[in-house]
Homo-oligomer: A and B are copies of this chain.
């Protein structure tokens, strides 16, 4: 089914306890596009880059089934740049540099050929841009999911609250859920946030997995215990991309299928952190992804019926 993804395509410079990169390709939209492509063979992307963005990377996205008609290339302007440094625990980081560049006045133009999208994933961007995308869609998609972050809660809470009334699924991390709701307990936070609009809430807990809330149901997905987290950048975007790619490819947004989609997203996220940036995500095989999903099944599977054996 048709999938529209929206998110930044950017440069990152990353420092972790394991090493340091120069400018490499990053951005929520990039991670989302690569991740969803493992389930959904085609997607339409809306984003913006400057003239400094490498053509080969755009070609690489196209080779993964990404239609780049909606990827604006701004002549004479520079691509969004983010630089950050992770602490030793790899769960917290400091932002060193944020240069908005082309993102500062990003007008998310939806090409006519993109209209009719059934599934839409809005990566982390200003909530005003996110709501503009939804308003420009001529038909209401079957399911709209969005990511956001604490930054927007600090400076654009009203815009964010408006956007939340327009989406079906919100995907955020535990600290963001606490900030958005003002509740420490994630169960209470989930109730408050779902009252803001999204019928489905996914709370990402990093190395501790993810929770899906809907109605009075909760699903708890584990993260794969990893020997080493090399670079967490993009893991959340990868999770969201894998989730939505799975939903779109199966054309099923039931609660049962969302559980599978969360496992699919978690599997891709577990690859993402194994190398710097998108490196690991660019060249996985279907067999590797399937084997990783199977690891999640083995990791969590139990049957309470005891048969003395």
Contacts and interface: CB of A to CB of B under 8 A. Distances in A.
Nearest to A89: B184
A129 to B, nearest CB: 32
Contacts of A88: 184
Contacts of A185: 226-229
A188 to B, nearest CB: 6
A179 B304 CA distance: 33
A88 B254 CA distance: 37
A292 to B, nearest CB: 12
A303 B303 CA distance: 13
Contact of A222 (B188, B222, B225): B222
Interface stretch (A7-15, A112-120, A274-282, A294-302): A294-302
Interface in A209-254: 209, 211, 217-222, 225-229, 250-252, 254
A309 interface: yes
Given A184-B89, A228-B185, A263 B304 contact: yes
Contacts of A226: 185, 187
A309 B256 CA distance: 11
Interface in A48-90: 88-89
A287 B25 CA distance: 55
Number of copies: 2
Contacts of A187: 225-227
Contacts of A250: 306, 308
A188 B256 CA distance: 34
Interface of A: 88-89, 184-188, 205, 208-209, 211, 217-222, 225-229, 250-252, 254, 256-257, 259-260, 263, 293, 297-300, 302-304, 306, 308-309
Nearest to A250: B306
Contact of A263 (B188, B211, B302): B302
12 contacts: A185-B226, A185-B228, A185-B229, A187-B227, A217-B298, A219-B299, A220-B222, A221-B302, A256-B302, A260-B302, A293-B304, A300-B302
A220 B184 contact: no
Given A89-B184, A187-B227, A260 B220 contact: no
Interface centre among A211, A217, A218 (most CB of B within 10 A): A218
A33 B50 CA distance: 66
A145 to B, nearest CB: 18
B227 A188 contact: yes
